[in-house]
Every structure is written in C-alpha cells, then in structure tokens.
Amino acid sequence: MEANMQKLLLELKEATTRKAQFRTSVALILNGEEYFFDGIIRGTILTEKRGEKGFGYDPLFVPEGYVKTFAEMTPEEKHAISHRGIAIAKLTQFLQTKI
C-alpha cells in the first residue's frame, strides 16, 4: 500500500484541490428487489502521511470537520464516522422496517 500512497501523493503534487471521499455501497436483494445503501465521508488528502493506525489511505485522509487523519484517530473515533458504518446503519434501519 505504501507504493499506492506515494503514487497518489505524486499525482496530486500540483493539485489545487485535494478534496476526496471514501464511499461504501452495500447491496441487498430482498424478495427479488435490489436495494442499495451508501455511506460517504468527505474530507481532504494531505501532502504527507500522519498516523500509524488504520489501513489503506487512512494516514492521508482528514475527514471534514476534523483535524486528525483516520490513522491518528482511535478506533472508536474512526468507527463513529465510518463510511462503512453509515452504509450498514442505513441497511439496518431499512431491514427494521421490512422485517
């Protein structure tokens, strides 16, 4: 993954905007119908890595409204705003109304 992060940083070196987002989509087929649930967290890609926790691009991504990267957050902080958690919460809410 280190090579991927370095490639991203190189490609964004001259970028005037560094806005980004993580997105998770969960699909469900229930009674022959398709349903999709998205979780999105918007933020900014930094110019250098910060933090040791997390995985993937976590050391480069600061969510909107925060000063820490995902890699600097505790697991509890990160999970509270997780794009995966948002998508699963939407799925859970949907299932509670359908079942």
Describe the strand order of the beta sheet including 61-63 as a list of residue ranges.
Answer: 19-30, 33-45, 61-63
- With respect to CATH, is domain 2-98 assigned 3.90.950.10? yes
User: Are the CB atoms for 44 and 62 separated by under 8 Å?
Assistant: yes
Structure confidence at residue 1 (pLDDT): 66
Structure confidence at residue 98 (pLDDT): 80
Domain boundary assignment for the chain: 2-98
pLDDT 10s digit of each residue in the chain, 99 long?
A: 688 888 999 999 999 999 999 999 999 999 999 999 999 999 999 999 999 887 889 999 999 999 999 999 999 999 999 999 999 999 999 999 987
For the chain, where are the alpha helices, taking DSSP H only? 2-11, 75-80, 83-98
Structure confidence at residue 39 (pLDDT): 97
Cα(36)–Cα(83) distance, integer angstroms: 14
Contacts of 76 (CB under 8 A, 6+ apart): none
